[in-house]
Structure 1
Amino acid sequence: MTKLSVNVNKIATLRNARGGNVPDLLQVAKDIERFGGQGITVHPRPDERHIRYQDTKDLKKIVTTEFNIEGNPNPKFVDLVLSVKPEQVTLVPDAVDAITSNAGWDTIKHADFLKDVIATFKKAGIRTSIFVDPSTDMVEGAKATNTDRIELYTESYAKEYPTNKEKAIKPFIEAAIKANELGLGINAGHDLSLDNVEYFHKNIPGLLEVSIGHALICESIYLGLENVINMYLNKLK
């Protein structure tokens, strides 16, 4: 079964919109795990517009499943991850002013940088993953950095799925096959939803984990958080 890690950034965004502590981020994370979620993901950004650095430290104390921290490995981020020591760190090349992640790493161009960062995290016993576009070249480049896993950036799949799902998933299948050949674990995320996650899961060999936040929280407004998490789990069986 592919594991479901729930990104709680949107919960923090809602809390921050009014100040105070409603909704309670820590309680929501506990409830996600109680409802069957198999991981909690956060993506703190330098301006702390949703997840705050303190949130990350507080979550580490209460998360009992897998804790995954995503972000661009600037010095502040690296220090945070090393102090929190999550089960997994996912390296994402987002710009400081990015609204959301919008590209994978060029693992060839940035090979030396990624090797150094990954070595630092692995020395601390933290599993590493690199956010990549569905390209066999980028997968091969990721392998050369000594990362444990890749996370396939699935925005293009989600956009094309409604009109041509076979074409949409083709490069992801090719990238996954290459990752399997190279011994890399495979995660995936970005714009996956109840509409498209099952087809993706069934066609990507060796898919270990999906990280879903925005769609899952939006769907929960209508259907309820517990119900939505179980709907995802059923689609990922």
Structure 2
Amino acid sequence: MPEPSPTAWPLPRWIAHRGAGRLAPENTLAAFRLGARHGYRAFECDVKLSADGVPFLLHDTTLERTSNGLGRAGDLRWSQLALLDAGSWHGRRHAGEPLATLAGVAAFILRNRLALNIELKPVPGQERLTGEVVAAEAARLWAGSGLPPPLLSSFSPVALDGARQGAPGLPRALLLDALHEGWPELARGLGVQAVITDHRLMDAGVLATLRAQRWRGLCYTVNETEDVQRLLALGIDGLITDAIDRHAPD
């Protein structure tokens, strides 16, 4: 599969963070359904691997914050993870909501003709493997759909390089929480189509650097109106937000 064109772009401007921001248990199908009811057509989620190699949605390395599980998520097989309650922490009405697999989320996205940004969130030590497996699985799930492929993003260059090996035809984005020296060269070496920064880092100079490389520019996590207005005035390509009830998508 050839490398994606730098001009091809799979996402609308507005992207719902972890499905529905803070309005539903993050990274669950309940969150995706709520985000869609708010009119969002593009979503961001975090994906890692179970001990037996199943791509599933979870932000943290450990299970305690967003489920009734204990310990490192990557140490359990999917048959164990599937039994956990990933909804009660958010409220009683979500009690019993399970963790979601990438395959389950893909079915929802594809059947509703939505778009997806998959953040590769490896368990430490599994960066390359996570990139390879998740990218290959995403390519398989979207094959023949006729819909734009998912965007694969990560803070981990190793995971992104693994994604390039696993599915070179899927678009990739480097995530940055700081503008460290040499970041443009790193992004160029990874063959990305976009760079996603903390919204506080994005300015006209950074966006000009991206435009010079024909990269798209996106920001996370953009919740406040003044930040939205500033970034829209710059001409930003994507806004990842928790505030899906306050910002109506295009």
TM tier relative to shorter chain: 0.3 to 0.5
Which has the larger share of helix?
Answer: 1
TM value normalised by structure 2: 0.46
